[in-house]
Chains A and B, each alone.
Chain A
């Protein structure tokens, strides 16, 4: 015989009943003395077994890292099929670029891969400068290397923190975001903005670094490896982490290459393709750094590769800080560089020059170029086609995480639903870049 009792439940229910009294939930005690708060769930209907289920993950789900939607067909808890849907954030960057002058496009590059804004600005400027046929100054080259490596660290730190949260580790998230905050402070001192830096201009930079900035950078490169070591000690040999990541979402090197993967995703599969080393730009061939590669291409290898890239970026930053030469930041080329403001307000010729630069914009020669850089996500390419007018005929972004994400069905099929979260996190996607 069962006896019914009524108790106040304060923690699990929030509601009040119609009279304003706390809601009461009946507890059921059965013959065996077990207490349950609700009716036991009905047994699964036998005919449901063996059937496939459709699960809709996203587009508004914190673990999909943005507005990604995955439609998953499940057999029990195993993914049989995965259909990704993208495009929720599409705003037509490439179309808008056809209506803008080159320097006016730079703020748009902030907003596509928004974790890597300085890197995008530099990549865009490199492409535009090749189209214009401009050689940038030595100081500008080194400053751009610093910007690219800082943004690589920034992006990898966000990846590290959010992936740790997805897999169930909270503390590394706080540590990595603390370090990321220090980079944002440095960028804020340099550009005035934290996220949308618009750091470069065609032919130079937005500004030279402020006084004392290099001390802040040296301070960062001195202390940041300690944080990497802490995260490493906390996570790399952690039983839960290892169990959730080893053997998950593995792709062979040949398959990864065929799928067009790039960046840490490709290198984790054992293919040592790094644009910085294989197709160098910004004198990367003169820096001493390693290109880490994995062996199996699973989530754990991707984690190890990105951790090593953080250390290598610090090495590059140290070398760049040691070699930063004095001199001008902008090229001495009146086609693209504005005259100083003091001259533009006092001399007629400079004022006309300033006016024409701003209103009409610099004109590149007829031509086209594809410039690729190693962004934190992989090979980021900008393809410009010019017909000699101040606005590009075509400005194409080659988005690395778009191509990386296209391989997600191959990676998740056959794994458990919970592994989908780990695999999706390991791709390091930014929907702003995928949808553009």
Chain B
């Protein structure tokens, strides 16, 4: 078992839930709200030095009674260690975990993808938008188990939405903060944006 497990247990006794080893890989289950502090410790402490974030993802089981799990894969390159952190979100609770963006800049797109696919809100992420799906995507979160393989909408509805997309709304609101780019837009689009409508990607 990874030697970091005992140190996590002694430092975060209230957040540590359990640890297990499967196929030589150590998994530590922790309370999701404490993940930021634990990862901060794992990243900064001299005897841990988990300096590389491999992956951030989530798992939802087919048995919908089981909690949804958010998974962080961490590596310590100096010590050549690998650790899997898991936070479980029980059914009915809001899908909300702390972001580790302030510790690893590489978490940026990984957390955005996890939000895009599962709808998990990473609190503290500066720019949590959809990334693989487009911004007005209205069918939900594709990797959730209640999402059908072919999508929620019928083919005709999907086609209708694609045809109804505004081709001139190419820029998102963050890009429109460029000075005067707003003034260059067509009049009807300016009116719609002034009315609070979100533009497409």
Interface residues of A (CB under 8 A from B): 51-52, 54, 56, 71, 73, 83, 85-87, 90, 92, 94-96, 99, 130-131, 133, 255, 257-261, 271, 273, 278-279, 367-370, 372, 379, 381, 383, 385, 387, 389, 393-394, 396, 398, 402-403, 405-407, 435-436
Q: In whole Å, how far is B2's beta carbon from the nearest beta carbon of chain A?
A: 13
When chains A and B are docked, how far (Å) is the Cα of A279 from the Cα of B147? Answer: 36
A369 touches B55 (CB 8 A): no
Interface of B is mostly: loop
Encoded as 1 (CB less than 8 Å from any A CB) or 0, chain B from 47 to 84 comes to 00001111101011111000000010101010010101
Interface residues of B (CB under 8 A from A): 22-23, 25, 27, 51-55, 57, 59-63, 71, 73, 75, 77, 80, 82, 84, 104-110, 113, 117, 130-134, 142-143, 147, 149, 170-172, 174-175, 178-181, 201
Beyond A133-B23, A369-B23, list 14 extra A-B contacts (CB 8 Å). Answer: A51-B179, A51-B180, A54-B181, A83-B172, A83-B175, A95-B142, A257-B52, A273-B77, A279-B82, A368-B25, A369-B25, A370-B55, A394-B60, A403-B109
A367 touches B55 (CB 8 A): no
**Which residue of chain A lies nearest to B55 when distances are taken between CB atoms in the complex?**
A398
Option from B51, B110, B201 in Cβ contact (under 8 Å) with A257: B51
When chains A and B are docked, how far (Å) is the Cα of A232 from the Cα of B113? Answer: 39
B109 touches A379 (CB 8 A): no
Q: In whole Å, how far is A19's beta carbon from the nearest beta carbon of chain B?
A: 37
A71 touches B175 (CB 8 A): yes
A383 touches B57 (CB 8 A): yes
**Which residue of chain B lies nearest to A132 when distances are taken between CB atoms in the complex?**
B23
Option from B57, B61, B80, B181 in Cβ contact (under 8 Å) with A278: B80
Given contacts A86-B132, A278-B77, contact A260 B143 (CB under 8 A): no
**What are 11 of the A-B contact pairs (CB < 8 Å)?**
A52-B178, A94-B117, A130-B23, A257-B77, A260-B53, A368-B59, A389-B62, A396-B55, A396-B57, A398-B54, A407-B105
Of the listed residues B23, B61, B108, B113, the one surrounded by the most CB atoms of chain A closer than 10 A to its CB is B23
B54 touches A99 (CB 8 A): no
> 5 nearest interchain CB pairs?
A260-B106, A406-B109, A87-B132, A90-B132, A398-B55
B180 touches A406 (CB 8 A): no
Option from A85, A90, A381, A387 in Cβ contact (under 8 Å) with B55: A381
When chains A and B are docked, how far (Å) is the Cα of A7 from the Cα of B24? Answer: 80
When chains A and B are docked, how far (Å) is the Cα of A92 from the Cα of B143? Answer: 8
A260 touches B22 (CB 8 A): no
B178 touches A54 (CB 8 A): yes
Complex interface: chain B residues within 8 A of A73 (CB): 175, 178
Given contacts A52-B179, A56-B170, A271-B77, contact A381 B61 (CB under 8 A): no
Option from B105, B171, B174, B201 in Cβ contact (under 8 Å) with A260: B105
A273 touches B52 (CB 8 A): yes
Option from A71, A258, A385, A387 in Cβ contact (under 8 Å) with B105: A258
Complex interface: chain B residues within 8 A of A96 (CB): 149
Given contacts A51-B180, A85-B201, contact A385 B54 (CB under 8 A): no
Q: In whole Å, how far is B122's beta carbon from the nearest beta carbon of chain A?
A: 15
Option from A85, A95, A261, A381 in Cβ contact (under 8 Å) with B106: A261
Option from A133, A255, A381 in Cβ contact (under 8 Å) with B73: A381
Complex interface: chain A residues within 8 A of B71 (CB): 383
Complex interface: chain A residues within 8 A of B54 (CB): 260, 370, 372, 379, 381, 398
Of the listed residues A52, A95, A402, A407, the one surrounded by the most CB atoms of chain B closer than 10 A to its CB is A95
Option from B52, B53, B73, B80 in Cβ contact (under 8 Å) with A370: B73
Of the listed residues A92, A133, A255, A402, the one surrounded by the most CB atoms of chain B closer than 10 A to its CB is A92
Complex interface: chain A residues within 8 A of B109 (CB): 402-403, 405-406
Given contacts A51-B179, A94-B143, contact A71 B171 (CB under 8 A): yes
Of the listed residues B27, B55, B179, the one surrounded by the most CB atoms of chain A closer than 10 A to its CB is B55
Q: In whole Å, how far is A386's beta carbon from the nearest beta carbon of chain B?
A: 10
Complex interface: chain B residues within 8 A of A131 (CB): 23
A393 touches B106 (CB 8 A): no
B55 touches A383 (CB 8 A): yes
**Which residue of chain B lies nearest to A398 when distances are taken between CB atoms in the complex?**
B55
Complex interface: chain A residues within 8 A of B113 (CB): 402
When chains A and B are docked, how far (Å) is the Cα of A96 from the Cα of B142? Answer: 11
